[in-house]
Homo-oligomer: A and B are copies of this chain.
Amino acid sequence: MSAKVVPPAPWPVEPWAIREPHLDLEELARTESVFALSNGHLGLRGNLDEGEPRGISGTYVNGFHESFPLEYGESGYGFAEDGQSLVDVQDGKVIHLMLEDEPVDVLRGEVLAHERVLDFKTGTLDRAMHYRSTYGREVKITTRRLVSFTQRSTAAILYEIEAVSGPMRIALQSNLMANVPAQSGTKDPRKGKDLGDVLEPRLARGFELRAVLAHTTRNSKMTCAAGMEHVILSDASNLHTAIYVEDDLGRATLSCQIKPGRPFRFVKFMAYHWSSRQSPEFLRDQVTASLANATAEGWEGLLRDQRTFLDRFWEKADIELEGDEAVQQALRFSLFHLLQAGARIEGRAIAAKGLTGPGYDGHAFWDTETFVLPWMTYVMPEVVRHALLWRHSILPQARERAHMLGMGGATMPWRTIHGEECSGYWPAGSAALHVNGDVADAVRRYIDATHDDAFAAAEGGELLVETARLWISAGTYDHAGNFRIDGVTGPDEYSALVDNNVFTNLGAQSNLRAAADTAARLPELVETMEITDDEIAAWRKASDAMYLPYDERLGVHPQDQGFLLHDPWDFGGTPADCYPLLLNYPYFQLYRRQVLKQADLVLGIHLHGDQFTPEQKRRDFDYYEGLTVRDSSLSACTQAIVAAEVGHLDLAYDYLREAAFVDLHDLHHNTSDGLHIASLAGAVLGITNGFGGMRDSGGRLRFSPRLPTDVPSIRFAVTVRGARLRVSVDQERARYELETGDELTFEHWGEEVRVVNGTPLERPTPAVEDLPRPKQPPGREPARRDG
């Protein structure tokens, strides 16, 4: 029996959608995350149209946040001063409905049928409800909601109601509401900082069926203007309309007679604009302009553009897997939400939860660069560029932070929205230097994959150089000439403040080399950043001398220099309900034992495999399998990838499934706070980098495809410098076909191959010996597939 049994799939298996066949009020918070719509700029959680009941209400605009002082029991020099929290802005999703004198309320009336569908091809959330009121009034309500990929400030809802039981008068109240408590139930302190009413009203206007509200946050002084406009699509009998506004409310009221067979339909358009500098009046004009564009385009126009946008996306992004339709569905779910998280960020961050919920206060972390961008680079490199431009935009804060921490160059925040370090826990907020290597690796990968030398000579190069400078100041040579980096916190959060975390040092090594290579190649960069030859030489020297501790006695790499000296965690004495460990044991005990929240060294093997021999990879993987409890959603995907590489294909498939189901099956019990965007990306990497064996370190694109016996075939595409390569793998061979571009050179199982357009290439895949499964901590084995 495993502690991580995957529950029965709550979703009917189908290839291009997530369907909820009936309403489950207990699961509202989770389904709101699963059904969230976003374009990376504007995000709406999948709240019911009525607004209540709700799990967590959420309407987010990327970057719009409130700040607040961080409190400390005992403070210290350089502790982060202010927190930042994504703000739930004006909520335009709410449409109340009154049937004669009875409000439609799923807690009160009878829900005869209820279905919601998130459609990956239309990019809409569709809802159909057949409802009967206490006094027997029956209606069918159909709504379709979208957040436009093509008009980034715009969302829209098509609302249709039809009388079933007989004619009746209805009143629809279409609201735009500010300072709505996010939750209607009790508070759970894990869900993010509760800031109270942070939006101060600045402007409220109504005209005909349009309303605009503008609000400014109390401390961070950001202003968000939101507007709604309504277009009635059907004749309505005895229609009365009204618009009403007050500080925190805009309301359009539509009252009319409806009767069976004559549905009443209207569209609600919404638009959001925010700024730290512009006035509420200026923003109001932008909102009104966006509403004008949206109404001009009309519902059908928005829907058509959405469809076209998605068709293009799937052409580049789709991943096919034979053998398990639920996994296939989960992969497309992942891809769809990855698109939603990134599509229109335009210089803002991709947060850990995207715009799907308030978890982690809306902060972005290292995992975007480490999990999301490695996938995105080969599908939507233009978005990767924007994500890295965001990192570039926060370089001033990162330089200041490095200076405060006594280092040169720049050090990226552990968690932030706006660029300032927001972690109230300094072993992460000051010592998790690996985030710099992660950012640099994403820059390096993007440049390798796109040859975007304009970016490499400017923003990308600056990022590489400033992080390289950081490492030089953060490390030191020991008496034996090794370059050491002491006192850091690696990715694994069950250790902190260690010397020579191998993952960190690998990242620093690659970072220094990339900076040196890029500077050597691009004289503009050398000039702008005032790089001397000595500096480049120092980067190369430190990179070459980077200390990667290795334990000869055990024949494995220690996660960090002192790690293997510690006692293993007492897994046998840890009850199943004491996971995740961090909620049941103090850091004091976790840090001083051999126990991993997430694959740390194994992640190093994935991203910097050149630095390990095959034998080392096998031994390291097996050793750390016994210590990794996967309390982090970022673990299973990495374990899947490296398990596949070292010869545990069956285990890799188990981990892949776990990664794929993290949110759909709520494996970490907090999908309600938002989706795990990096984990969704990790599941996709499990296919491309796991079964596809794709690697791209050292500037060489490589595939070593291998499939578990249960997987007859996989197919995916990667786009490299405009050339789209379709990779199809079955149990015997791999097929490489260029769909766009002229030619592409890469490696297949170590052999350099070249594919030209029109001439697919086939290569056999070597038989991979499936090794005996390593042992995981008891009760922490991945769930195994049936049979």
Residues of A participating in the B interface, judged by any CB pair closer than 8 Å: 70-74, 76-80, 83, 404-406, 423-426, 428, 430-431, 476, 478-479, 484, 486-487, 496-497, 499, 553, 561-562, 565-567, 582-589, 591-592
Contact = CB atoms under 8 A, between A and B. Distances in A.
B499 A588 contact: no
Contacts of A587: 76-78, 426, 430
Given A406-B588, A561-B562, 4 more contacts: A73-B83, A426-B587, A499-B562, A499-B566
A567 B476 contact: yes
A547 to B, nearest CB: 10
Contacts of A591: 487, 497
B565 A486 contact: yes
27 contacts: A71-B71, A71-B72, A72-B72, A73-B80, A74-B423, A74-B424, A77-B582, A77-B583, A77-B585, A77-B586, A77-B587, A78-B587, A79-B586, A404-B586, A405-B586, A406-B585, A406-B588, A478-B565, A486-B565, A487-B589, A487-B591, A497-B497, A497-B591, A497-B592, A499-B562, A499-B592, A561-B562
A573 to B, nearest CB: 10
A425 B73 contact: yes
A484 B565 contact: yes
The 5 lowest CB-CB distance pairs between A and B, nearest first, are: A73-B424, A487-B592, A71-B71, A78-B586, A70-B73
A567 B406 contact: no
Nearest to A425: B74
Contact of A588 (B425, B431, B589): B431
Identify the interface centre among A83, A431, A582: most chain B CB within 10 Å of its CB.
A431
Nearest to A561: B562
A582 B76 contact: yes
A138 to B, nearest CB: 50
Identify the interface centre among A83, A423, A588: most chain B CB within 10 Å of its CB.
A588
Nearest to A567: B476
A73 B71 contact: yes
Nearest to A407: B589
Contacts of A583: 77
Contacts of A497: 496-497, 591-592
A486 B425 contact: no
B486 A566 contact: yes
A165 to B, nearest CB: 53
A307 B592 CA distance: 55
Contacts of A431: 588
A429 to B, nearest CB: 8
A392 to B, nearest CB: 24
A566 B567 CA distance: 23
A561 B499 CA distance: 12
A495 to B, nearest CB: 10
A430 B496 contact: no
A588 B430 contact: yes
